Amino acid sequence: MSEIQPSVSYSFTVRLAIVNKPGMLAKVLNVIAEHRGDPGGVDVVAVEGKYKIRDITVSARDAKHSREIVEAVRVIDGISVKYVSDRVFLLHIGGKISIKNKVPVDTRDTLSMAYTPGVARICMAIARDKSNVQSLTIKQNSVAVVTDGTAVLGLGDIGPEAAMPVMEGKAMLFKEFADIDAYPICLSTKDTEEIIKTVKNISPGFGGINLEDIGAPKCFEIEHRLKQELDIPVFHDDQHGTAVVALAATINALKVVGKKLEDIRVVVVGIGAAGSAISRILLEAGVKELLPVDIDGILNRDHTDHLDDNKKWVAENANQNRVKGSLMDATKGADLIIGVSGPDTIPVEAVEQMANDAIVFAMANPDPEIRPEKIQGKARIIATGRSDYPNQINNVLAFPGIFRGALDAKASDINEEMKLAAAYAIANCIGVDEVGEEYIIPSVFNKKVVREVAKAVKEAAYDSGVAKRNS
């Protein structure tokens, strides 16, 4: 079994004072290699007497592995470790985003126009006709990224403060990929009614609401109510962004293995926010045989008393043959397993008993249901939610383009038609002659993705009647 590879998400820069004689750097690099670290940049920072001061950047597997590598370097004769900096922490110091002015405020004239007294005329124009807020403020290009910190990635209920780095990250991605001004909004309440009320109260300044990492089942009620009660698009990313990208990846993976949506058996592991939306969209797209598996085994329509409404819907609409049992029972002969549960929930044996040309999407973040290294050669196509393995199935491929399209169409909703259009647009960013085992999903950096998704979503918004027509 191949070992887990070092990742840049556990990279550090170690500053070393190295005695200035031949062969010393090679010695350090050898020790790093012996300890399975992955060295990146090597820079000379200064020469101090008989020492060369060097910065060496190394990727490790995890925090413990980082410490092992540093300790192994520390004991080399002629070397002292000056300090070690964690590159991921360095990148986060002071946060990742900021607000930038569009107009310079450097003269009295601009001050009088952009602010008081000129601004008063703009306020009154909006007071007379509220719809002017669209064209005269940032609202038309703004999205609130709202969480209560209860289901942050696969880390669970870590609170609103600890959720900030993820929400800032989402805001950063909105800006980078779709030029949308998004704001991280972390609420210090877990109460459904309070969350709904707060989002409604802040909604005048936003063109859309992206709900993020709010725990199931309350995320369903919150989204449902806000969709009904607001006239701007409300979108729970962990449900629908994930579902859209999972469908796109499924479409292309099936092209590689030569199977059809209608003929495959899919097992979805983890029927929470992401898993239930993935199940819905796959059924809508034509999958016939889908076995939903949660913590207590396969969901079944004969036994739904203990389930929340959402799991109940999945139990009643998937699993046509009323299969009962465990994850191991479900995965026997399966063509595709999609994991959206948590770390290490899928054993290797489950993959070993799948059908030929098995496909596994282990999408839990940051640690997948099964490490790709463990199933190399056992599954034909493997994908995760992470950016440090091939085939990253992450909702970042969906939400920027979906909101770009919805905002451009001045849509009042993001509906099923728009989501399906987004999924096919993502899949079609890769030509049929280009798809392959390690290329079922376009790169986040493929500029075509946001453009094509936004275009498809905008058209679907017009076709389905939720866009505001200009004429």
Ligand X SMILES: NC(=O)c1ccc[n+]([C@@H]2O[C@H](COP(=O)([O-])OP(=O)(O)OC[C@H]3O[C@@H](n4cnc5c(N)ncnc54)[C@H](O)[C@@H]3O)[C@@H](O)[C@H]2O)c1
Ligand Y SMILES: O=C(O)C[C@H](O)C(=O)O
Annotated binding site: 212-213, 238, 365, 394
Q: How far is the CB of 153 from ligand Y (least distance, A)?
A: 4
Q: What is d(CA 220, CA 104) in angstroms, rounded to the nearest whole number?
A: 43
Residue 395 CA to its chain's centroid (Å)? 4
Residue 342 binds ligand X (CB under 6 A): yes
Q: Are 291 and 269 in contact (CB under 8 A)?
A: no
Looking at 52, 170, 227, 374, which residue is catalytic? 170
Residue 150 binds ligand X (CB under 6 A): no
Site for ligand Y in 383-422 (CB under 6 A): 385, 394-395
Residue 369 binds Mg ion (CB under 5 A): no
Q: Which residue lies nearer to ligand Y by CB, 58 or 397?
A: 397
Q: What is d(CA 318, CA 267) in angstroms, rounded to the nearest whole number?
A: 10
Q: Which residue lies nearer to ligand X by CB, 20 or 326?
A: 326
Looking at 82, 115, 197, 468, which residue is catalytic? 115
Region near ligand X per CB under 6 A, out of 289-297, 349-357, 412-420, 461-469: 289-297
Site string for ligand X, 209-248 (x = CB under 6 A): ------xx---------------------x---x------
- Residue 5: what are its φ and ψ, rounded to 5°? -85, 150
Residue 238 binds ligand Y (CB under 6 A): yes
- Residue 115 bears catalytic tag: yes
Site for ligand Y in 342-381 (CB under 6 A): 365
Q: Among 163, 171, 271, 402, which residue sits at the site for ligand X (rule: CB under 6 A)?
A: 271
**Number of shown-chain residues binding ligand Y (CB under 6 A):** 9
Residue 149 binds ligand X (CB under 6 A): no
Within 13 A of 359's CA, how many CA atoms are on the CB side? 29
Question: In 3-state terms, what secondary structure has residue 379?
Answer: strand
* Nearest by Cα to 396 from 203, 186, 210: 210
**Residue 238: which H helix or E strand, with range?**
helix 237-257
* Nearest by Cα to 367 from 7, 83, 3: 7
- Residue 170 bears catalytic tag: yes
Tokens 């009904």 belong to which residue?
228
Q: How far is the CB of 222 from ligand X (least distance, A)?
A: 13
Q: Where are the alpha helices (DSSP H) in 38-95?
A: 63-74, 87-92
Q: How far is the CB of 187 from Mg ion (least distance, A)?
A: 15
Q: Among 6, 149, 160, 385, which residue sits at the site for ligand X (rule: CB under 6 A)?
A: 385
Residue 63 CA to its chain's centroid (Å)? 23
**Number of shown-chain residues binding ligand X (CB under 6 A):** 28
- In this structure, the chain runs to a length of 471
Q: Are 182 and 208 in contact (CB under 8 A)?
A: no
Q: Which residue lies nearer to Mg ion by CB, 181 or 238?
A: 238
Pick left, alpha or beta for residue 319 (phi over 0 → left; psi -120 to 50 → alpha; otherwise beta).
Answer: left
Residues found near ligand Y in the complex (CB under 6 A):
153, 166, 213, 237-238, 365, 385, 394-395
Q: Which residues are catalytic?
A: 115, 170
Residues found near Mg ion in the complex (CB under 5 A):
213, 238
